[in-house]
Amino acid sequence: MKKLIIIGASGFGREVAWLVERINKQNPTWDLIGFVDDNPKIQGEIINGYPVIGDCNSLKNIQDTFVVCAVGASKMRKSIIDKICLINPNIKFATLIDPSVEMSNLVKIGKGTIICAHTIITVNIEIGSHVIINLDCTIGHDAVLRDFVTLYPSVNVSGATYIGECSELGTGMQIIQGKSIGAHSIVGAGAVVIKDIPEKCTAVGSPAKPIKFFE
């Protein structure tokens, strides 16, 4: 079995630990040795049966151990990954896919990506590195999800769509076929995207419209 550390011991980190357990029930793969988290108040605690073994700086000298970042916010996740790659340029990232995921063989998935239970991913799809696809999502043919994208639960991504780097799609939102969401944008829960969403904005509503732009 391969050693694994989860970065982030909050709610989604605990869900990822459960995902690892689900993988191991079907095919023993990962020896989950614990969490790392920069919160000093939880160092040394046992969370859902796994210890918090240090902060991100503790990854400096690890060898023969995979890590995965279970921090939902895209911008923060990218910052953490950039930091630990500087600390340890040889670090290895695990890709975790729940056993219940339905997915064709015509899907490309980058390193460090997490795909949660009951998601359906069809054909000719490109998913980048360090992407989080949460529970019960659907992704249609020819979709492209760039690095550090986050899909919260029950997001529906139709075919031939483009989701830019570090964007976040809120719970239950939908994007119709052939539309795009710009890099570093946030689409609110329950929104319906029927027109392209520009980069670096927050968009909400049905139909979704930008309400705020940021640097």
Active site residues: 141
Cα-Cα-Cα-Cα dihedral sign, residues 78, 2, 34, 155: positive
Q: Phi first, then psi: give them for residue 108, nearest 5 degrees.
A: -100, 130
Amino acid identity for residue 38 in this structure: D
The answer to whether residues 84 and 66 touch, using CB atoms and an 8 Å cutoff, is: no
Instruction: Decide: 4 and 32 in contact? Cβ < 8 Å.
Output: yes
Around Cβ 86, how many Cβ atoms within 10 Å? Answer: 9
What is the DSSP track for 165-213?
TT-EE-TT-EE-TT-EE-TT-EE-TT-EE-S-B-SSEEEETTTTEEEEE
Contact 162, 176 (CB under 8 A): no
